Amino acid sequence: MAAETAAQFTPVIYMLGFGVLAGVPALIISRLIAPRRRYNPVKFLPMECGQMPTGEGRSHFMMQYYSYILMFVVFDVMSIFLFAWASSLLLIPRTATLSIMAFLGIMFAAMGYALYLSGRKGIW
Amino acid sequence: MASTPEEFRFGNFVGSLIWLILIVLIIISLVGLPIIFVILFYVPLPPVNGEILTPYLFLSMMVDPTRTLPIIKFLIHTHLFKLVVFPGFTFAALLAAATIFIERKFLAKMQLRVGPLYVGKVEGILQLAADGLKLISKEIIIPSGSDKPIFWASPVAFVAAAAAVTALIPVAPGWVVANISVGLLAVFAILGFFPLIALLFSWASNSKYPFIGGLRALHQMIAFEIPFFLSALSVVILAGSLNLTDIAKAQHPFWFIFFLPISAFVFFISSLAELERVPFDLPEAESEIVAGWLTETSGMIYGLLQLGTYVKLYALAALFVVLFLGGWAGPQIFPQELIPGYTGEKIYNPVTVNAIFWFTVKTFGVIMLFLLPRGINPRIRIDILLHTGWYKLIVLSFINMFVALALIYGGVLGPGGLLTR
């Protein structure tokens, strides 16, 4: 069963490989026929609208919406759990829907509280 | 009047072109032809019509058109053809190229410009070829201090991931590269790669604007991934399957967009955000952060990223068609026989051709809808983006989930329902 499921995915892997096969020659051909002039070191500086770049390129950057990222970790998994229920909805008894509604209720309450907290200022 | 420098004379240009053609011919005759012969004589060829295909048979069949048809019929049903040409890479890449050209002309018409006009005389039809040649002959500038392996690998990974999404899209009954029982989840899984590739690329290029753009791409995924999943949930409830072919077949009498218009709307909006298109093009906001995560791209690296973006656009438009617009369903408009009275070997299947036609027409319609906001909408702010995704779209997508449940349990759809065929 596991081997069959894995075998279903082999065309996707082939397609991924074909994408690589299509992309790499384009870069190689471009490298072969394009000019390479390296006498001017300023040309290779990072783009900062014509100024000489100051400071580090990779610096600490303020992630202002951190609360959403924390919520994403939880609710993304929730939304994938719902797919397992939805795809087998026609096969399972109707009472199973009640428990999933309870699950949804808990998740809605949690999401509402998290969104309420993320809207408040001064806690992040 | 200053005379033209020696190396810019037209004769020199023609001469260099002729040299190039000569070198290519020599390489083909010295390397390509031996490889073809080695493959033909040493690789076991497949049986066609019960007899093993030898190289001599192959060459003799190539001459006689009536005997070529079985070979063609055999070849277009191989895995390799599906992967490389028809529902796979070439089809998607051609549609993507057509999309780029149509987008430029369409936006130009909307903004009272003319768009590409000169290359190819007729409405600038060869502009794309010219752009491709230009991109492939431009120097690739790699910023100093960049992470070179990741910088080179990310564009290739972007194209490969976009191609892998198109492998899962069914174009006609039986015409899909990978018929996976959990195809919808596989599409979501592969779509999750793109913001990561954007972030990797922006981190590798050691520059400030790409870094900000990459972080914005991540935020955009966080805001719109959950509405994207949940809007497809109601489709899965009605279809009872995660296989994309089954989902397309399940909407035979009535398309799901009639039952789930809000889901379709949410899916459309979140697809726009996944594609980083206006009004959600924050990762490459050209009026704020130069070109976002594409700032340090040049030459063919930019070309590959652009190709990947438009292949992804085709994939998501095709996914919208499969989930909400009935896939390949449409009235039969192709005749049963292409040549009346012909009784020999046939490769023309009216049902498949009809399915491909309707699928392509619908996909192009959705692509035009994706292109439309770029002409009429401004860009939205990032906090409004996150607010829209979390507060509005998630709630909207749950509304139609309950509608779908009511339709199933109310006996309208599902097994033995009123509207079930």
What is the pLDDT of chain B when averaged over all its residues?
84
Confidence of residue B158 (pLDDT cuts 50, 70, 90): very high
Q: Which residues of B touch A79 (CB under 8 A)?
A: 226, 229-230, 233
Q: What percent of chain A has pLDDT over 90?
A: 1
B285 or B187: which carries more pLDDT confidence?
A: B187
- Kindly state whether B287 is in contact with chain A, defined as any CB-CB distance less than 8 angstroms: no
pLDDT digits (tens, 9 = 90+) for B96-155: 989 999 999 888 988 898 888 888 777 788 888 888 888 888 888 888 888 889 999 999
Confidence of residue B156 (pLDDT cuts 50, 70, 90): very high
Tokens describing residue B126: 């060869």
The mean pLDDT of B23-41, rounded to a whole number, is 86
The mean pLDDT of B182-210, rounded to a whole number, is 88
Residue B297: pLDDT over 70: yes
B6 or B212: which carries more pLDDT confidence?
A: B212
Domain ranges in chain A?
2-38+62-119
- Kindly state whether B226 is in contact with chain A, defined as any CB-CB distance less than 8 angstroms: yes
B49 or B398: which carries more pLDDT confidence?
A: B398
- Kindly state whether B402 is in contact with chain A, defined as any CB-CB distance less than 8 angstroms: no
What is the sign of the dihedral through the CA atoms of B306, B309, B315 and B320?
Answer: negative
Which chain B residue shows the shortest CA-CA distance from A80? B229
User: Burial, B59: exposed, middle or buried (Cβ in 10 Å; 0-12, 13-18, 19+)?
Assistant: exposed
Q: Which residues of B touch A71 (CB under 8 A)?
A: 390
Phi and psi for A48 in degrees, rounded to 5? -135, 55
Size of interface A-B (CB pairs under 8 A): 201
CA B314 → CA A48, A51, B299, B364, distances in Å? 33, 39, 23, 8
CA A93 → CA B360, B401, B414, distances in Å? 39, 18, 14
pLDDT of residue B99: 92
Our CA-based measurement puts residue A124 at a distance from the nearest CA of chain B, in whole angstroms, of 15
Q: Which residues of B touch A76 (CB under 8 A)?
A: 225-226, 229
The mean pLDDT of B249-268, rounded to a whole number, is 87
Q: What percent of chain B has pLDDT over 90?
A: 16
Residue B7: pLDDT over 80: no
CA distance A62 to B95: 40
Residue B382: pLDDT over 60: yes
pLDDT of residue B46: 67
CA distance B192 to A35: 36
What is the pLDDT of chain A when averaged over all its residues?
81
pLDDT digits (tens, 9 = 90+) for B328-381: 888 888 877 777 766 666 777 888 888 889 999 999 999 999 999 888 888 888
pLDDT of residue B160: 92
Which chain B residue shows the shortest CA-CA distance from A18? B160
Our CA-based measurement puts residue A123 at a distance from the nearest CA of chain B, in whole angstroms, of 17
Tokens describing residue B335: 């005749």
pLDDT of residue A94: 82
Residue B54: pLDDT over 80: no
**Ramachandran assignment for B329, one of left (phi > 0), alpha (psi -120 to 50 degrees), beta (any other):** beta
By mean pLDDT, which of A50-59, B16-25, B62-71, B151-160 is the weakest?
A: B62-71
pLDDT of residue B44: 67
- Kindly state whether B104 is in contact with chain A, defined as any CB-CB distance less than 8 angstroms: no
A82 or B8: which carries more pLDDT confidence?
A: A82
* Cβ–Cβ gap A18/B88 under 8 Å: yes
Residue B13: pLDDT over 70: yes
Strand-pairing partners, residue A119, are none
* Cβ–Cβ gap A27/B212 under 8 Å: no
CA distance B88 to B176: 8
Q: Which residues of B touch A59 (CB under 8 A)?
A: 208, 211
CA B320 → CA B30, B169, B279, B325, distances in Å? 48, 10, 19, 7
Please spell the DSSP secondary structure of B286-342, one letter per residue.
Answer: TTTSTTGGGTT--THHHHHHHHHHHHHHHHHHHHHHHHHS-TT-----S-S-SSTT-
The mean pLDDT of B289-296, rounded to a whole number, is 83
Residue B279: pLDDT over 90: no
pLDDT of residue B49: 64
pLDDT of residue B311: 92
